[in-house]
Structure 1
């Protein structure tokens, strides 16, 4: 009886452990840190460009209204 309980518990624990599915060898996973490091500065630059374009448009409109 003393041997049976640990053996059953061990079997239950091992049955619950499964290996994750292997990654697709044809398409390796993209490192998330690299994608984030590239995307953040580009998003920031696009935001700055949008702000600059809006400011230039307001300035052109103000000059056109002043004439």
Structure 2
């Protein structure tokens, strides 16, 4: 999934987070522009940091650890 500079599919791509990769998250879930990802249409986004890059990803594709 693409890490974007804002919670919108029109946001600039900052980095790529591939399947089974992990990234830190301050558990900040919020609502932004609509998208369809991982078979779900939503407006839920999650802020994450990967390799020093912080941005927003589609929340429906994010798994939180137990």
Bin of the TM-score, shorter chain as denominator length: under 0.3
What TM-score comes out, normalization by structure 2 length? 0.16
Q: Higher relative contact order by CA 8 Å / sep ≥ 6: 1 or 2? A: 2
What TM-score comes out, normalization by structure 1 length? 0.16
Larger C-alpha radius of gyration, 1 or 2?
1
Higher percent of residues as strand: 2
Higher percent of residues as helix: 1
